[in-house]
Amino acid sequence: MASSGDGGNNRDHGEPRMPKDMKGLLRLCAEVSDPNNENKTGQEVVTNLDPEKQEFLENALSDLTVNPVQRMKECIHLIKTTPDTDDGIENKLQALEELLEWCGHIDFAIDFHKIGGFEVFSSLLNHEDAELRWTCLELVADLVQNNPYCQKAVLENNILPVLLESLDKDQNSTVKTKALYALSCLCRDNEDGQKLFTEQDGFSVLMRAMQTDVEKLKIKASFMLNSMCTSHPSYKDILCDIGMVEQFIGLITPEHGPLQEHVMNALLTLITDHDRAKDIAQQPQLNLHDILKERLTVLQDKPEYQEEKEYAERILKLIGSNDGRSGNQDVLR
């Protein structure tokens, strides 16, 4: 049979005709999901679709035609030019939310920098509206996470000190938490980021974060400290200098909570293969031996807390008994 000129050759091989418009594309999607639609016209398929499904498909297909770089340029322009009225702030937040969606993709994150997106950071990170600040911090985190190009760009634009300032001085707990998230994404496995973090006294900022009453902040700070000491044991000397061993011990309480596991894991990392940290932990006035024995009593017969229990046992073995005898003895009897 001769081709009819409308894709007949494809049909002879059992392949669907390629759609030429939105309704044709909708019809193709419907055919794939429901073979009963094969002999219906595009209009019939669209008409019979559930309205909610039709709207979803139309929005999804519309997104395929969007130019991401152009959309990001429009969002950047809106943020830079919109006045700070109530409606203006809401529009800026919506623009940031869209940028978050685009910059979750590493290529678009790089494009965001290349088209001048970093120009919005100065005003947003210092904005009086807390939600704008923390949403911008989340954007920074998304940009630099596992993205060496953007990590380098953030460091070159001197944004790390701003992140530290937000973590240390901002009065909003969500802003503090997002700033720590951005710092963690920036410095993880990034030698240049960790070097600058150290030069800017970042460990002291982390320690002060652990002294707040925001548990999420304490957990994230403990996790970041543990990660950095694991990759660079040399940082342990700095932590000893600023009193981090004592800080960790002070956070171990009889009450169970998510923080306890992270704190004990970080303390274990800090005193492992580091005589100075271990000597500090063994100081009688810190009473770490009895604190851990009490924790183990609380955790007894609770298998769901097995990891925390193991951390406590390993720390006890490292510091020895409370009468100053060698840590090689069985201190868990």
**Is residue 325 assigned to a domain?**
no
pTM of the model: 0.78
pLDDT at residue 326, as a whole number? 41
**Is residue 330 assigned to a domain?**
no
Quickly state the pLDDT bin for 188 (edges 50, 70, 90): confident
CA–CA distance, 223 with 220 (Å, rounded to integer): 5
**Is residue 305 assigned to a domain?**
no
CA–CA distance, 141 with 99 (Å, rounded to integer): 12
CA–CA distance, 198 with 112 (Å, rounded to integer): 28
CATH code, 69? 1.25.10.10
**Is residue 52 assigned to a domain?**
no
CA–CA distance, 78 with 287 (Å, rounded to integer): 57
**pLDDT tens per residue, range 217-259:** 999 999 999 999 999 999 999 999 999 999 999 999 877 788 9
> Domain count of the chain?
1
Q: What is the DSSP string of 40-86?
A: S-HHHHHHHS-HHHHHHHHHHHHHTT--HHHHHHHHHHHHHH--SSH
Span 18-39, average pLDDT: 56
**Is residue 245 assigned to a domain?**
no
Average pLDDT in the chain: 86
**pLDDT tens per residue, range 66-98:** 799 999 999 999 999 999 999 999 999 999 999
Quickly state the pLDDT bin for 11 (edges 50, 70, 90): very low
Quickly state the pLDDT bin for 331 (edges 50, 70, 90): very low
Quickly state the pLDDT bin for 298 (edges 50, 70, 90): confident
**Is residue 161 assigned to a domain?**
yes
**Is residue 171 assigned to a domain?**
yes
**pLDDT tens per residue, range 119-137:** 999 999 999 999 999 999 9
pLDDT at residue 302, as a whole number? 84
**Which bin fits 327, alpha (ψ -120 to 50), beta or left (φ > 0)?**
alpha
Q: Domain residues for 160?
A: 65-200
Contact 249, 281 (CB under 8 A): yes
Span 279-301, average pLDDT: 93
**Is residue 109 assigned to a domain?**
yes
